[in-house]
């Protein structure tokens, strides 16, 4: 009889003798995957954007036209197309066109300013740029300088592909013109019914996407994700989240982020299933999209769900179609998970992954609830999915037994081969092909994994280690606290001291003295916060992660 911690656990049926089985990609590359979907159900909706609908056949034809237009302008095999866009149909058309022309797509955060965009274009060596009108001003500043290498510029409007404008996400604004740029819709008209010149089929290990890290240390680095990385992990979403072509996907996460790219964009084309886009995240708009399009699946940061369920007058009836809900990209406190479930009507399953792992590596399986560690109070991130080799190691990279805290290391076919043009950074982050995640956690005796915090966020107070997440989880238990973030600040006596930032629920009142006392009653003396700052909103990334580094630099917004 197997002594594996995974024995007799049916949700881990894809494991054999406690070891994850290798899963082969169904398709050699992403285009084979898309062509299979178009062949099977050409008239099915591929994208729903407000009141606009694009079928799989129409999406494929648009991507063919854009690929032909790119090639006509000199775009060649191996060239990079940067996508500077919100959750808009042009993003999906652009990535498909890049692959059809034999190139590589590059994700660009639409919140980037001149310095950040300039770095990304130079670092990726992008030949072409597709951008929305709302970021023209930033693009114009960058393109006016030499050294970026971009000689093909294509623009699109947020109003393209739909007729009903929502002023909350598509306000009227004066657009900065981009010299020598051509409109996407014009290219699709001029090259309608054309197909790109034949290029060699992409191999599984060929680059498909450069997805840039958030740049928490230094400039962002481009994780080089292959066709096999993306096809394989889209399949893992489908199999482990029990999805099919009968589902519809609500794109809560931004497509430029790894969760949105794989868990929304690539997944929708694999199933295939309609992808419901709403330009950018706005809680009221997202709820309206759920009511109108009745999506069944989504994955996003827990902060997105708390914003949606916190709207006045919403309840389980509004979200009745969303029966398969996952949270990734940011930690989840147990009390917050319970509060979201009460309004959403569905249990929010945890999922974990990184840019460098092409999204998910761990998740809470369907029909299961994540256990809560009795000592740390952490909610489990789930169990490893097939092909993932996950282990917890100490400072000497020696594997630790269940229950002991160390750094999480991950290997498997989902893991990127490294960073684009960064051999030194690749060698540091991917020793022997195994990713050092920088996340600290442990595995329990039943094989569930838990995260404690990020290595870089650990606070040393009077020689003791303090993990911000533990303090944050306690603060989330206070009825007045809506969001919380904890950082270490210099202290002459303690070295570092614990400082918390909180935003309160609408209409709630709490004092610093009250919250400090609340924490003091619930944790060791060296852990509780010595100071608490109140902010209206905590700073966040576009994917919903709270930016502790911004708080260290001077507070919230």
Whether the per-residue pLDDT at 464 is higher than 70: the answer is no
Please state the domain extents for the chain.
30-300, 458-552
- Dihedral (Cα; 68, 70, 74, 75), 10-degree rounding: -110
Rounded to whole angstroms, how far apart are CA atoms 166 and 161? 13
Rounded to whole angstroms, how far apart are CA atoms 500 and 309? 24
Rounded to whole angstroms, how far apart are CA atoms 66 and 185? 9
Rounded to whole angstroms, how far apart are CA atoms 19 and 492? 49
Q: Residue 547's pLDDT is what?
A: 82
H helices present in 159-293, as ranges? 184-190, 227-240, 258-260, 267-270, 283-293
Q: Residue 168's pLDDT is what?
A: 86
Residue with tokens 């805290």, as numbered in its chain: 405
Which tokens hold the place of 90?
Answer: 């042009």
For residue 477, with 0-12 CB atoms within 10 Å meaning exposed, 13-18 middle and 19 or more buried, which class applies?
middle
Q: Residue 16's pLDDT is what?
A: 40
Q: What contacts 211, CB < 8 A, 6 or more positions away? A: 107, 222, 223, 225, 256, 257, 258, 261, 355
**pLDDT tens digits for 193-215?**
999 999 999 999 999 999 998 65
Q: Residue 67's pLDDT is what?
A: 98
For residue 295, with 0-12 CB atoms within 10 Å meaning exposed, 13-18 middle and 19 or more buried, which class applies?
buried
Q: Residue 463's pLDDT is what?
A: 63
Q: Which fold has domain 458-552?
A: GMP Synthetase; Chain A, domain 3 (3.30.300)
CATH 3.50.50.60 fits 30-300, yes or no: no
Q: Residue 546's pLDDT is what?
A: 81
Q: Residue 74's pLDDT is what?
A: 97
DSSP code per residue over 116-154: HHHHHHHHHT-SEEEEEGGGHHHHHHHHTSSSS---EEE
Q: Are 388 and 365 in contact (CB under 8 A)?
A: no
Cα diameter, the chain: 72
Whether the per-residue pLDDT at 242 is higher than 90: the answer is yes
For residues 518-529, give the mean pLDDT. Answer: 87
Confidence tier at 103 by pLDDT (50, 70, 90): very high
Rounded to whole angstroms, how far apart are CA atoms 422 and 57? 38
Helices and strands: H and E segment counts in the chain? 16, 27
* Higher pLDDT among residues 481 and 148, named by residue: 481
* Average pLDDT across the chain, whole number: 89
Whether the per-residue pLDDT at 181 is higher than 90: the answer is yes
Rounded to whole angstroms, how far apart are CA atoms 533 and 503? 9
DSSP code per residue over 389-434: EEEEE-TT-PBPPTT--EEEEEESTTS-S-BTT-HHHHHHHSGGG-
For residues 276-287, give the mean pLDDT. Answer: 95
Residue with tokens 């290498």, as numbered in its chain: 149
For residues 241-248, give the mean pLDDT. Answer: 96
Q: Residue 516's pLDDT is what?
A: 95
CB burial string 361-377: b at 16+ within 10 A, e below: bbbbbeebebebbeebb
Rounded to whole angstroms, how far apart are CA atoms 475 and 484? 7
**pLDDT tens digits for 507-517?**
999 999 999 99
Rounded to whole angstroms, how far apart are CA atoms 433 and 412? 8
**pLDDT tens digits for 104-144?**
999 998 988 888 899 999 999 999 999 999 999 999 999 98
In terms of phi and psi (left: phi > 0; alpha: psi -120 to 50; beta: otherwise), the region of 224 is beta
Whether the per-residue pLDDT at 217 is higher than 60: the answer is no
For residues 51-58, give the mean pLDDT. Answer: 97
Rounded to whole angstroms, how far apart are CA atoms 470 and 475? 9
Distances (CA, A) of 311 to 65, 288, 506, 536, 544: 42, 12, 10, 16, 17
Which tokens hold the place of 359?
Answer: 């999204």
Whether the per-residue pLDDT at 23 is higher than 60: the answer is yes
Residue with tokens 């054309």, as numbered in its chain: 194
For residues 399-403, give the mean pLDDT. Answer: 93
Q: Are 71 and 177 in contact (CB under 8 A)?
A: no
Confidence tier at 550 by pLDDT (50, 70, 90): confident
**Least confident segment among 23-27, 177-181, 481-485:** 23-27
Whether the per-residue pLDDT at 555 is higher than 80: the answer is no
**Least confident segment among 29-38, 50-59, 434-443:** 434-443
Q: Residue 7's pLDDT is what?
A: 39
**pLDDT tens digits for 350-394?**
999 999 999 999 999 998 999 999 887 888 999 999 889 999 999
Q: Name the nearest CA neighbour of 66 among 139, 160, 137, 141.
A: 160
Confidence tier at 63 by pLDDT (50, 70, 90): very high
For residues 271-292, give the mean pLDDT. Answer: 96
- DSSP strand E in 246-404: where? 249-250, 275-277, 297-300, 324-327, 348-354, 359-363, 383-384, 389-393
Q: Residue 9's pLDDT is what?
A: 40
Q: Residue 15's pLDDT is what?
A: 41
Q: Residue 376's pLDDT is what?
A: 77
Confidence tier at 318 by pLDDT (50, 70, 90): very high
- pTM recorded for the entire structure: 0.83
Rounded to whole angstroms, how far apart are CA atoms 238 and 299? 13
Q: Residue 12's pLDDT is what?
A: 40
**How many residues make up the chain in this entry?**
557
Highest mean pLDDT out of 197-211, 321-335, 450-464, 512-526: 197-211
């Amino acid at each position: 009889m197997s002594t594996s911690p995974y024995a007799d656990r049916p949700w881990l049926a894809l494991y054999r003798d406690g070891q994850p089985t290798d899963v082969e990609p169904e398709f050699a590359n992403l285009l084979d995957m898309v062509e299979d979907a178009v062949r099977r159900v050409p008239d099915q909706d591929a994208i729903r954007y407000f009141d606009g609908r694009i079928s799989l056949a129409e999406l494929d034809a648009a991507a063919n036209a854009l690929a032909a237009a790119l090639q006509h302008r000199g775009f060649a095999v191996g060239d990079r197309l940067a996508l500077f866009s919100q959750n808009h149909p042009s993003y999906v058309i652009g990535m498909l066109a890049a692959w059809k022309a034999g190139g590589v797509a590059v994700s660009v955060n639409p919140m980037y300013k001149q310095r950040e965009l300039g770095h990304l274009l130079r670092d990726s060596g992008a030949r072409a740029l597709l951008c929305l009108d709302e970021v023209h001003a930033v693009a114009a500043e960058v393109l006016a300088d030499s050294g970026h290498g971009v000689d093909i510029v294509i623009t699109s409007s947020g109003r393209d592909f739909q007729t009903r404008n929502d002023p909350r996400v598509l306000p009227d604004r004066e657009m900065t013109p981009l010299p020598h740029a051509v409109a996407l819709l014009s290219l699709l008209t001029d090259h309608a019914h054309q197909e790109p010149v034949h290029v060699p089929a992409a191999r599984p290990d060929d680059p498909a996407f450069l997805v840039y890290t958030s740049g928490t240390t230094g400039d962002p680095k481009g994780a080089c994700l292959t066709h096999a990385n993306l096809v394989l992990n889209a399949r893992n979403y489908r199999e482990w989240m029990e999805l099919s072509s009968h589902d519809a996907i609500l794109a809560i996460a931004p497509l430029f982020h790894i969760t949105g790219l794989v868990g929304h964009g690539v997944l929708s084309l694999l199933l295939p299933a309609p992808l419901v886009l709403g330009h950018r995240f706005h809680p009221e708009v997202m709820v309206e999209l759920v009511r109108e399009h009745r999506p069944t699946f989504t994955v996003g940061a827990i902060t997105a769900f708390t914003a949606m369920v916190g709207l006045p007058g919403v309840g389980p009836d509004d979200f009745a179609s969303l029966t398969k809900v996952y949270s990734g990209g940011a930690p989840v406190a147990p009390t917050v998970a319970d509060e979201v479930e009460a309004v959403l009507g569905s249990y929010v399953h945890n999922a974990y992954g990184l840019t460098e792992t092409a999204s998910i590596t761990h998740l809470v399986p369907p029909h299961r609830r994540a256990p809560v560690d009795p000592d740390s109070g952490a909610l489990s991130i789930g169990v490893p999915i097939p092909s993932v080799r996950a282990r917890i190691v100490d400072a000497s990279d020696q594997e630790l037994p269940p229950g002991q805290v160390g750094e999480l290391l991950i290997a498997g076919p989902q893991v990127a081969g490294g960073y684009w043009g960064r051999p030194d950074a690749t060698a540091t982050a991917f020793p022997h092909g195994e990713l050092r995640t920088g996340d600290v956690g442990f595995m329990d005796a039943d094989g569930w994994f838990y995260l404690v915090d990020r290595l870089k966020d650990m606070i040393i107070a009077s020689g003791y280690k303090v993990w911000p997440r533990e303090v944050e989880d306690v603060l989330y238990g206070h009825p007045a606290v809506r969001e919380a973030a904890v950082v270490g600040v210099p202290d002459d006596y303690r070295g570092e001291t614990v400082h918390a930032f909180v935003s309160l629920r609408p209409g709630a009142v709490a004092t610093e003295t009250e919250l400090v006392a609340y924490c003091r009653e619930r944790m060791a003396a060296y852990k509780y916060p010595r100071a608490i700052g109140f902010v209206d909103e905590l700073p966040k990334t576009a994917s919903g992660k709270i930016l502790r580094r911004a708080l260290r630099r001077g507070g919230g917004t």
